[in-house]
Amino acid sequence: MLALWLVGANYRWLDLSRDGTVAAWAEATLQTAPAGALLLSGADGHTFALDYVQWVEGRRTGLLVIDPELLPHTWYRHQLARRYPKLGDRQSWDLDALMTAYSDEGG
């Protein structure tokens, strides 16, 4: 009961629906990235903001966004392989090898 009261009492501070900070950052980042760029993201907020623009809004889908901290996770590697078919069925998901393969294929 107390939790519900706290949410109600603090809702205007918790409601981020009108906060455009993340959207502005993602827009600026994607607008300055050249076609076919590889973007490395090291923070969930950045990674998921860029993913949202690509997956949900369907914009700048030619950019490769990778979060190196997520590469050790099998589910993330499978997701990258599905989203970016030119990465292929990789034996190595080492970041340096990924960057080299991506640049060799022309981004």
**pLDDT for the residue 58:** 92
Report the C-alpha gap between 5 and 11 in whole angstroms. Answer: 10
Contact in structure between 42 and 68 (CB atoms under 8 Å) = yes
pTM of the predicted model as reported, rounded to 2 decimal places: 0.74
Question: Which range (42-51, 74-83, 91-100) has the least confidence?
Answer: 91-100
Predicted confidence band at 17 (pLDDT cuts at 50, 70, 90)? Answer: confident
End-to-end CA distance of the chain: 53
Q: Could you tell me if 39 and 33 are in contact, meaning their C-beta atoms sit under 8 angstroms apart?
A: yes
pLDDT score for 106: 61
Average pLDDT over residues 72-100: 84
